[in-house]
């Protein structure tokens, strides 16, 4: 699986059969540039969008998203299990986040979570290869204390941070930066990439989380 960041909380997760796009509406609202993209499935995690249909069209972003392997784009905003193009996409009832499985590879996209989150929902997710997590804190997202609990529950192999302070943002107050996040948690295994190719990782005792910022 290839993972690429479009900015803010929007990512493209691609295989040879399917491309998934996360939260393009939040990218539009952030004020950051939104490039035209190809995606077969679009995931929406915002509470206000739960159960809604035709979100791309109603928010004037349908023209920004073209299907790559299908005739039309599938929009998912409700809990359920969806098997599309060899991917299993799951969202539990009352859960803001998605679990995306390709064979034995597991990605968890936490979405636009805030401090109303019951962090116990992050328990029992099994072996997680990649965790995509908003780290901006501030008035929009979960605080560092809850992030710490989530990381203890999930213990991912790779952490992809998103939704933090960046030049050009039109949303959020007092958002934390990537440097604030790294310093607070003391991460040392940190790097930048333009994209990430993910393969399942063998289980390792006492492994260190690898933090990768996608630009």
Mean confidence (pLDDT) of the chain = 93
What is the torsional sign of CA 187, 191, 195, 197? Answer: negative
pLDDT digits (tens, 9 = 90+) for 151-192: 999 999 999 999 999 999 999 888 999 999 999 999 999 999
First CA to last CA distance, the chain: 17
Distance of CA 112 to the CA centre of its chain: 8
Using CA atoms, how far apart are residues 131 and 113, in angstroms rounded to an integer?
13
Mean pLDDT computed over 33-49: 94
Under the banding of pLDDT at 50, 70 and 90, the label for residue 138 is confident
Structure tokens that stand for 188 in this block: 């040392």
What is this structure's pTM? Answer: 0.95
CA distance 112 to 69: 27
Q: Cα(179)–Cα(4) distance, rounded to whole angstroms? A: 21
Full set of structural domains in the chain with CATH: 2-214 (3.60.15.10)
pLDDT at position 90, please? 97
Mean pLDDT of 194-205: 79
pLDDT score of 76? 97
Pairing of strands 98-102, 87-91: antiparallel
Q: Which pLDDT does position 205 carry in this prediction? A: 58
């Amino acid at each position: 699986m290839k993972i690429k960041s479009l900015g803010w909380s929007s990512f493209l997760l691609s295989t040879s059969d399917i491309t998934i796009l996360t939260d393009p509406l939040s990218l539009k609202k952030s004020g950051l540039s939104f490039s035209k993209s190809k995606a077969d499935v679009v995931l929406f995690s915002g509470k206000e969008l739960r159960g809604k249909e035709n979100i791309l069209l109603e928010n004037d972003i349908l023209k920004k998203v073209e299907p790559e392997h299908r005739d039309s784009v599938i929009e998912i905003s409700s809990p359920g299990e969806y098997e599309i193009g060899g991917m299993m996409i799951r969202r539990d009832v009352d859960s803001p986040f998605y679990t995306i499985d390709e064979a034995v590879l597991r990605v968890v996209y936490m979405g636009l979570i805030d401090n109303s989150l019951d962090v116990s929902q992050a328990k029992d997710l099994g072996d997680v290869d990649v965790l995509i997590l908003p780290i901006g804190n501030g008035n929009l997202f979960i605080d560092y204390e809850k992030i710490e609990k989530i990381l203890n529950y999930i213990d991912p192999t790779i952490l992809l941070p998103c939704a933090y302070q960046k030049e050009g943002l039109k949303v959020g107050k007092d958002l934390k930066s990537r440097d604030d996040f790294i310093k607070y948690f003391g991460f040392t295994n940190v790097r930048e990439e333009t994209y990430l190719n993910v393969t399942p990782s063998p289980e390792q005792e006492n492994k260190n989380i690898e933090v990768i910022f996608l630009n």
